[in-house]
Amino acid sequence: MHNGPTTPLEEAVSKLAEGRRSPGERDAVPLLQRFADTFLRDVNLGVLLIDLQFRLVDISDTACKLLGWSREQVVNHRINELFGAMPKEHHPIQRSLLGGVVVTNYAFSWQNGTYRHELLLDSNVVRCEEGRILGAYVLFKDVTSLKSLEEQVQRNDRLAMVGQIAAGTAHEIRNPLTSIKGFLQMFKRTLTERGMNKEVEFADIMLTELNRINELVGEFLLLSKPKDLNIEQLRIEQVMEEIVPIIRNEAVMHNVDVRVVHTVPLPPVVADREMLKQVFLNIAKNGIEAMVDGGHLSIYLKIDESCKCVLVDIHDSGPGIPGFLVDKIFDPFFTTKPNGTGLGLSVCQRIISDMGGGIRVASKGYGTTFTIAIPY
């Protein structure tokens, strides 16, 4: 269509346009042709035109961009060839299309380099006036951002559900725990006085386990309601200084070295000091835990003037997060660790969003960077 009619389908469409019109209207044909060219070039839609031999007659620029194809390489090729090694039944465009099968809102994912597009496809046949099928067209739209919005809503729904369960049970668990702990401490005192060392040791184990339950319930409570934040004006570099020793301590055990880099002076932020520490610790700990054979944990403190945020990048040289898991890691209870609770990141996200900030993650097969943005 860009270079004048060449295929039977194009010729037919063009002849039809010609034959149906009065001489005056025929002057409009160049306009129609021009429109078709402009449409394919400018429209923000993937458009494919297919002939009866199931060959690609033309393709819009947006389709080329989304699919990662170049027009010259695909035009006149059979559709099946274009999908390479992909099994035929998974091709988003099926030959049955030419038999008159109409498709609407067919969703498929398309990996273009490192970027995954979520596409929504419609297709139908093109007929001549007698009703014979001349070919088919396919239209598709990139709905990736809508899709991620939908996932975000679903995640929030799940978080809200966990929140309700947590709110209902956490307090009920914590109260009896407190009395068990109190009596156990009394027992321990008595056992110590009587020199029953073995029993004292058992009591200690029980107390440690009780503390673990307590911490878990604490995290539940954090998820369940927007916690009353203890807001103050503070400097992120100072908060970082206070917790780096704890991170280093953890890192040494995993043969990981830690460095903190900040080159520019940072503006103060208004945030909850203890909560921030919890977030940095959780994310640094995840990084350290990911590096099973040791590695480097780097923390960069930066400013993003466009969003008026202080950015904290926590980068590890670990194995990275596979693409199909990236969407799940912030879900409550999602964990790949035998002893993980999967609450770490969902708690972090809750805390940071309560402060008006955000957390994002970038992982490309090797190494992972979590970026925490805190408004200043």
Ligand X SMILES: Nc1ncnc2c1ncn2[C@@H]1O[C@H](COP(=O)(O)OP(=O)(O)OP(=O)(O)O)[C@@H](O)[C@H]1O
Please name the residue that has the structure tokens 């900040």: 262
Q: Does 312 bind ligand X (CB under 6 A)?
A: no
**Sequence-separated (6 or more) residues with CB below 8 Å from residue 262:** 237, 300, 301, 302
Nearest by Cα to 295 from 366, 372, 242: 366
Separation CA 284–CA 54 (nearest Å): 54
Max CA distance (Å), the chain: 114
Angle between helices 236-253 and 273-290 (to 10 degrees): 30
Stretch that binds ligand X, among 133-141, 182-190, 243-251, 314-322 (CB under 6 A): 314-322
Out of 10, 51, 142, 316, the residue judged to bind ligand X by CB under 6 A: 316
Chain residue at closest Cβ approach to ligand X: 344
Angle at 151 between CA 145 and CA 152, to 5 degrees: 90
In the window 256-295, what residues touch ligand X (CB under 6 A)?
282, 286-287, 290
Chain residue at closest Cβ approach to Mg ion: 344
- Would you state the structure tokens that stand for residue 281, as one six-digit string? 């610790």
Q: Does 335 bind ligand X (CB under 6 A)?
A: yes
- Would you state the structure tokens that stand for residue 215, as one six-digit string? 């911490």
**Sequence-separated (6 or more) residues with CB below 8 Å from residue 3:** none
Out of 116, 127, 194, 337, the residue judged to bind ligand X by CB under 6 A: 337
**Least separation in angstroms between CB 359 and ligand X:** 11
53's contact among Mg ion, ligand X, none, with CB below 5 to 8 A by partner kind, is none
Out of 92, 135, 318, 344, the residue judged to bind Mg ion by CB under 5 A: 344
Separation CA 190–CA 241 (nearest Å): 42
Identity (one letter) of the amino acid at 294? G
**Least separation in angstroms between CB 342 and ligand X:** 4
x/- mask, Mg ion, residues 131-170, rule CB under 5 A, reads ----------------------------------------
Out of 286, 317, 368, 371, the residue judged to bind Mg ion by CB under 5 A: 286
Angle at 94 between CA 93 and CA 96, to 5 degrees: 140
Q: Does 368 bind Mg ion (CB under 5 A)?
A: no
If the CB atoms of residues 295 and 344 are measured against Mg ion, the closer one turns out to be 344
Separation CA 81–CA 95 (nearest Å): 12
Number of residues located near Mg ion, criterion CB under 5 A: 2
Number of neighbours of residue 313 by Cβ within 10 angstroms: 15
Q: Does 344 bind ligand X (CB under 6 A)?
A: yes
Stretch that binds Mg ion, among 86-94, 97-105, 225-233, 339-347 (CB under 5 A): 339-347
14's contact among Mg ion, ligand X, none, with CB below 5 to 8 A by partner kind, is none
Q: Does 345 bind ligand X (CB under 6 A)?
A: yes
x/- mask, ligand X, residues 80-109, rule CB under 6 A, reads ------------------------------
Out of 5, 342, 358, 375, the residue judged to bind ligand X by CB under 6 A: 342
287's contact among Mg ion, ligand X, none, with CB below 5 to 8 A by partner kind, is ligand X
**Sequence-separated (6 or more) residues with CB below 8 Å from residue 144:** 116, 117, 118
User: Are 258 and 251 in contact, with CB atoms under 8 Å apart?
Assistant: yes
Q: Does 217 bind ligand X (CB under 6 A)?
A: no
343's contact among Mg ion, ligand X, none, with CB below 5 to 8 A by partner kind, is ligand X
Element housing 104 (H / E):
strand 103-112
Nearest by Cα to 177 from 216, 203, 204, 213: 213
Separation CA 369–CA 359 (nearest Å): 10
- Would you state the structure tokens that stand for residue 91, as one six-digit string? 């091709």
337's contact among ligand X, Mg ion, none, with CB below 5 to 8 A by partner kind, is ligand X
Number of residues located near ligand X, criterion CB under 6 A: 19
Residues that bind ligand X (CB under 6 A): 282, 286-287, 290, 316, 318, 321, 329, 334-337, 340-345, 368
